[in-house]
Amino acid sequence: MEDLSSLIDWSRAQFAMTAIYHWLFVPLTLGLAVIVGVMETIYYRTRSQRWLAITKFWMTLFGINFAMGVATGIILEFEFGTNWSNYSWFVGDIFGAPLAIEGILAFFLESTFVVVMFFGWRKVSPGFHLASTWITGFGATLSAAWILIANAWMQNPTGVAFDPAQMRNVMTDFWAVVLNPVAIHKFIHAVANGWVLGAVFVMSVSCWMLMKKRDREFSVRSFKVATWVGSIGILVTMWSGDGSAVDVAKYQPMKLAAMEGIYDGQNRQGFTVIGLLDPEVKPCCTGNSDVDPFIFRIEVPAVLSYLCSRDINAFVPGINDLLSGHRADNNGTEYRVPSVADRIVSGKVAHDALRDFDRAQAVGDTEGMTTASQVINARYNDFGYGYLSSPCEAVPPVALTFYSFHIMIIFGGYLLLFFVMAWLMLYWRPRLLDVKWLQIAGIATVLVAWICSEAGWVTAEVGRQPWLIEGVLPCQAAISYVSSGSVALTFTLFALFFTLLLAAEVSIMVNVIRRKGATSDYARLSDK
């Protein structure tokens, strides 16, 4: 394979591009499902034709978006096989199970009941229809749960052991995989983020309707439901985000260091609110160290130490500490975290032991197999490092991780203020709903929510590089045996196709929203 690095880059790019597109649509589906469910529940309880009209309007937008989520989702599942075939074998025993369970438990639920949502109004009872709407939302959420369990396992592999005889990892504890703390926080964080995005989308469209002086009651009712859902969503997102950060500090310290742009760690580590990284500063593995990595920075002292360890005096390691090794404390017991260079050496010893095991197995040398197996087990935590040729390869792209993380944090803070403002507009000064600049801000906020959501994914996925499975398998050892030209071509085709489809979706959604017929009958409908 002459073009290994090019193939890795194209494979990464293709997966990243598909995931970014997929993540444009999935959170909106998760959020709109809940909002539509709430609206239909109000209709079911009141039998108000106006609430029925509101429900159907947002359900139409839900349907248009749902289709795009489905189209991009199928590609992601199969790309594990097409572009990461080594990965599919190396950990398929563990990773395949959540995907299959997702299909059996969640996809069928969604695909069956979404049909009732759209075509069942006159064919099933109102109660059955309402149940179908909620079940569709539940199915989408359940789907998110299983895929996030799979993703979290890659960030913190648990419930697994390496079997040298098969040269692959095998599952030893299903519940350890499912109840992985990273999975729990990730699931709550991602789903709540979906609620926020769905809510902001509804509020944004409602603001546009208010600005255009379309039916006011329709808009205010929609705005109100979305404010409730979104407010719960933003609070849960922040709470679970804190939990996720603690997980990152514990299981992926290099990612945390990149997220905060920390090269040299310290006790009472401050949290960077906003900063500008000096692009000239590189990790110590390049011979460049002891330089301030920031051109400009606003920092809150000791907060990062507290957020990571609930102790303002705790030491937070930086990139250089992790590369060179450092002292750490585990409940009062001091120990030394080995350097990346040491782990590379240890990983290569594990690789040699695996070769020895293979040779011993071929000739039936049981003793040789046992000896090699002991070496592999003792050093398996460093197995993935054996693929690295230099410590620098263990450092993720710092600038991209840092900026995406801070965009997420800053935009997330803005969204909190946005919901506070929405409450004030609804329950304290309703006339603020008619202030034009607030309406424009409301419309624009949907872009903030989308960027915030995508930035969160970029942080999570770029920050874990070079690992596909943390510490066990870097991307370069997970690829398929295809030419980089083939992957470049499919990347281009997918990018083109998804972009064309995105344009179609936006155009159709805008048309549905702008069409006067959507709400013109609303005023004539009975509210009883």
The identity of residue 361, as a single letter, is Q
The answer to whether residue 108 forms part of the interface with another protein (CB under 8 A) is yes
Q: How many CA atoms lie within 13 A of 63 on its CB side?
A: 16
C-beta of 78: minimal distance to another protein in Å? 6
Q: What is the DSSP string of 147-179?
A: HHHHHHHHHS--SEEEETTTTEEEES-HHHHHT
Question: Looking at 15, 23, 57, 107, which residue binds another protein (CB under 8 A)?
Answer: 107
Nearer to another protein by C-beta: 75 or 469? 75
d(CA 167, CA 375): 14
Question: Looking at 120, 325, 338, 368, which residue binds another protein (CB under 8 A)?
Answer: 120
Question: Looking at 6, 49, 60, 309, which residue binds another protein (CB under 8 A)?
Answer: 60
Q: Which of the stretches 249-257, 311-319, 456-464, 478-486 binds another protein when contact is defined by CB under 8 A?
A: 478-486
C-beta of 105: minimal distance to another protein in Å? 7
Question: Looking at 504, 516, 521, 523, which residue binds another protein (CB under 8 A)?
Answer: 504
Nearer to another protein by C-beta: 1 or 378? 1
Nearer to another protein by C-beta: 82 or 266? 82
Question: Looking at 96, 243, 338, 413, which residue binds another protein (CB under 8 A)?
Answer: 96
d(CA 90, CA 406): 34
349-378 residues near another protein, rule: CB under 8 A:
351, 354-355, 358
Report the Cα 283 to chain-centroid distance in Å: 27
| 3-class state of residue 2 by DSSP | coil
Reference 336, options 348, 347, 321, 350; nearest CA is: 321
Question: Looking at 1, 378, 417, 447, which residue binds another protein (CB under 8 A)?
Answer: 1
Nearer to another protein by C-beta: 331 or 363? 363
Burial class (CB in 10 A: 0-12, 13-18, 19+), 213: exposed
65-94 residues near another protein, rule: CB under 8 A:
66-68, 70-75, 77-78, 80-86, 88-90, 92-94
The answer to whether residue 300 forms part of the interface with another protein (CB under 8 A) is no
153-182 residues near another protein, rule: CB under 8 A:
163, 166-168, 170-172, 174
Q: How many residues of this chain bind another protein (CB under 8 A)? A: 95
Nearer to another protein by C-beta: 345 or 501? 501
Question: Looking at 38, 39, 97, 460, which residue binds another protein (CB under 8 A)?
Answer: 97
Reference 177, options 149, 209, 147; nearest CA is: 149
Nearer to another protein by C-beta: 113 or 457? 113
310-329 residues near another protein, rule: CB under 8 A:
none
Q: How many residues does the chain have?
A: 528
Nearer to another protein by C-beta: 33 or 258? 33
C-beta of 60: minimal distance to another protein in Å? 8
Question: Looking at 298, 447, 510, 523, which residue binds another protein (CB under 8 A)?
Answer: 510
C-beta of 16: minimal distance to another protein in Å? 17
Taking CA 24 as the corner, what is the angle to CA 22 and CA 28, rounded to the nearest 5 degrees? 110
d(CA 457, CA 241): 12
133-152 residues near another protein, rule: CB under 8 A:
none
C-beta of 367: minimal distance to another protein in Å? 18
The answer to whether residue 427 forms part of the interface with another protein (CB under 8 A) is no
Q: What is the DSSP string of 263-330?
A: SS-EES--EEEEEEE-TT---GGGT--SS--EEEEEEETTHHHHHHHS-TT-EE--HHHHHH-EEEEE
Reference 245, options 253, 449, 327; nearest CA is: 253
| 3-class state of residue 333 by DSSP | strand
Burial class (CB in 10 A: 0-12, 13-18, 19+), 61: buried
